[in-house]
Structure 1
Amino acid sequence: MATVALAIAGVTGAAAEEKRKLRLGTDGTYAPFNYTDPSGELVGFEPDIIADLCPRIGVECEWVIQNFDGIIPALNEGRFDAVMASLSITDERAKAVDFSLPYYAGPTRFIASAETDLGKLQAGKGTTILLGTMSDEDKAVLEEVSTAFANATVGVVRASTHAKFFEETFPGLSVKIYDKGENMLLDLVAGRIDAAVDGAGSTLNFIGEQKKAGKDFVAVGPALKGGALGKGIAFAFRKGEDTDLREKVNEAIRDATTDGTLGSLSVKWIGVDGSISDNVNK
């Protein structure tokens, strides 16, 4: 487990020592949300949010790198103070942690090579399905998707909402579980799996990077939201602890939503505004 310090502009010497140090757990492998660049620096949507939010909160922030599948247990063991790792809000996770307000909400997508039959899948193209309130038409689309994936192996990341969604929705299909999203996508490029389930932000980033390399991958099927996929992504804190800090984080999220910071950073890194206007009134 590695630690990456984040310098806060304008905080030096004794002034920095007076500030609380907030240790944030992340996995550092999930572009464009959080990943390590060639120089070894942690970059992405979430590090940019932290560079803005920590001065608002009045804390000095530090990253702690932790595998995603163990990130909630590590939080509850005290290895860091909060999690910021594209962690979706779900009822199951809320039994173990307290969530902040969400700072981003986006759909989940299937990814496949454009050169395969899956890459030409038309079922649900251009539509969004809300899993918690599916119509009969939505269910029929997912049946078509299930049929199309009948002979495919699909990659998901261990302990993710994507894994939970896929296993609940398509229990008879072949799935390969990965500890890290980057390894899943490497296997997709190498043809060791036929498709992957990932967030829209990571999907767009992956498709763009592969296009630069001369390879054509596409998002297929419907965009998916809600249900097992959660209610947006948020900070997570130990259950019943740090309530004052959590409220300061919530206030900073409200302010960064109101002044457009979260929307701008979302567009910069993901290509769409995934900020949540409802936060302002919560």
Structure 2
Amino acid sequence: MKPFVLFAVLTCAAPTIAVADVPDLGGRTVVIATEDAYPPIQFKNPATGEAIGWEYDFMAEASVRLNFTPEYEKISWDGMIAAVGAGEFDMGMTGITIRDDRKEAVTFSAPYMTSQMLMIVRGDEERFADAAQFAADDDLLMAAQPGTTPFYVGVYDVLDGNEANPRIKLFETFGAGLQALRVGDVDLALSDSTAANGYVAASDGGLKIIGAPLGTEQFGFIFPKDADQTLVDAMNAAIADMEADGTLEALNTKWFLDYEIGE
């Protein structure tokens, strides 16, 4: 396999909890909302259609340590936070950035990963090389999913803070926006380093990353606003336990260094 190298260093952050403190969930079923559109965090294997990725491997390991059965339900990103917050699922996962505004709707786990926001352009892009140059050219367009961290970074860190700025073209999925970038309908897409490097590595020179990182974000799992604290505490214990014994580092190596998207 041809590995790709992360543009930004991934780290894992969680409180230290001894192995003996990892709870037993008694074999219960935990219904987890997923999107399967965010490689290498979670996505469909292009060869088999199987749902795979960092979060699926994490949950497989956590289910053994905590004694629960994961049951996955597919849902689009734009409905996930509201649905989980309302208690339609036990939890949700899809590389969700921990943000104060989202904490009003859902309960977050401890962070399991830290990443940075990167600018993705076509491989032959020469009109701009950083955020300031992009912002200065009114003819250039940006792809984004409404309500996502890349959308807000694009609005406030790249453009003028106007969420209705016509230079932002909205797409239902990140993949649709990236395809629009490939064919020239837009000129820029933003993503955290976990996904950005995967897409660039798989593009065979069709995409590249430019400029400096546009900030740091932490990922967490989400739970209903009035969550069963037993499940939240258990998942936090699993995060801490897997950080302490090197499992999170091994998952990072597998999915961000060794795995080639599209293999």
Q: Please report the TM-score for the alignment, with normalisation by the length of structure 2.
A: 0.81
Runs of 4+ in 1 over 4 A off after TM superposition: none
1:40 matches 2:49: yes
Asked whether the 8 Å contact 2:42–2:54 carries over to 1, the reply is yes
Amino acid of the residue matched to residue 185 of structure 2?
A: R
Partner residue in 2 for 1:242? 228
1:259 matches 2:245: yes
Matches within 5 A, 1:188-227: 188-211=181-204, 215-226=205-216
Q: Could you tell me which of 101, 107, 122 is aligned with 1:98?
A: 107
Structure 2 spans left out of the alignment, 5+ residues: 1-25, 259-263
Distance 2:87 2:197 in 1: 34
Partner residue in 2 for 1:9? none
1:171-214 residue CA offsets vs partner (Å, 9 max, x unmatched): 35711111111111111111211110111111111111111xxx
Distance 1:217 1:83, change over 3 A: same
Amino acid of the residue matched to residue 29 of structure 2?
A: K
SS in 2 for 1:152: coil
Query: Which structure's residues are more often helix, by fraction?
Result: 1
1:49-94 residue CA offsets vs partner (Å, 9 max, x unmatched): 1111111121100111100011011113333110111100000001
Matches within 5 A, 1:59-78: 59-78=68-87
Distance 1:80 1:54 in 2: 17
Distance 1:114 1:87, change over 3 A: same
1:55 matches 2:48: no
Q: Could you tell me which of 143, 146, 151 is aligned with 1:158?
A: 146
Cα displacement (A) at 1:114: 2.5
Asked whether the 8 Å contact 2:89–2:224 carries over to 1, the reply is no
Partner residue in 2 for 1:88? 97
Partner residue in 2 for 1:134? none
Amino acid of the residue matched to residue 99 of structure 1?
A: F
Asked whether the 8 Å contact 1:152–1:173 carries over to 2, the reply is no
Structure 1 spans left out of the alignment, 5+ residues: 1-17, 124-141, 273-282
Cα displacement (A) at 1:271: 2.9
Distance 1:80 1:257 in 2: 26
Q: Choose between structure 1 and 2 for higher RCO, CA contacts under 8 A separated by at least 6 residues.
A: 2
Asked whether the 8 Å contact 1:156–1:198 carries over to 2, the reply is no
When the two chains are superposed, the root-mean-square deviation of aligned CA atoms in Å is: 1.8
Name the % identity: 24
Q: Work out the number of aligned pairs and report it.
A: 227
Distance 1:76 1:88 in 2: 15
Matches within 5 A, 1:113-124: 113-118=122-127, 121=129, 123=130
Amino acid of the residue matched to residue 190 of structure 2?
A: V
Distance 2:74 2:125 in 1: 36
Cα displacement (A) at 1:241: 1.8
Q: Could you tell me which of 180, 185, 193 is aligned with 1:187?
A: 180
Asked whether the 8 Å contact 1:68–1:159 carries over to 2, the reply is no
